[in-house]
Amino acid sequence: MSEKTAKRIHVVDDEPDILEFLELILREEGYEVITSEKGDFLDHLDHSKLPDLFVLDVLLSGKDGREIVKMLKSQQETRHIPVLMFSAHPSAEETVRQAGADAFLEKPFQIEVFLEMIASLLRSSHGQTPEQALG
């Protein structure tokens, strides 16, 4: 993937080890990666460099990822950007989807599944629904 066509992914998790691991995996796949450890990253979001995809943990210290998704999906500048949320709580999937997330992944997850979901969501942001991209 060339530097000009590299998709930008913003990963948000309050666990530094998980954040570092996901950043490494995504960079190896050729993605440009932005990371945040806190849910207040929205206050500092650079609208001139918006990501192609958000990857958010459901439970962040100080904020609930579902509230962040609602804010992202309610703003004109960010509503079109797909959001993948993950959590160790499988029961979170329904509330995550109700909040507006495009996809959910239960922790722990296989890296191959994570990367395929990322690729599918990025394809879906180019005119396909996530269901078409995954199916």
Query: What is the structure's pLDDT at 126?
Result: 65
Looking at the chain, how many residues does it have?
A: 135
Tens digit of pLDDT for each residue in 28-69?
999 999 999 988 888 888 888 899 999 999 998 878 999 999
Average pLDDT over residues 7-13: 96
- CATH superfamily of domain region 8-134: Response regulator (3.40.50.2300)
* Residues paired with residue 55 on neighbouring β-strands, in sequence order: 11, 84
Domain boundaries, the chain: 8-134
CA 69 to mean position of chain CA atoms: 10
In terms of C-beta density within 10 A (0-12 exposed, 13-18 middle, 19 or more buried), how is residue 131 classed? Answer: exposed
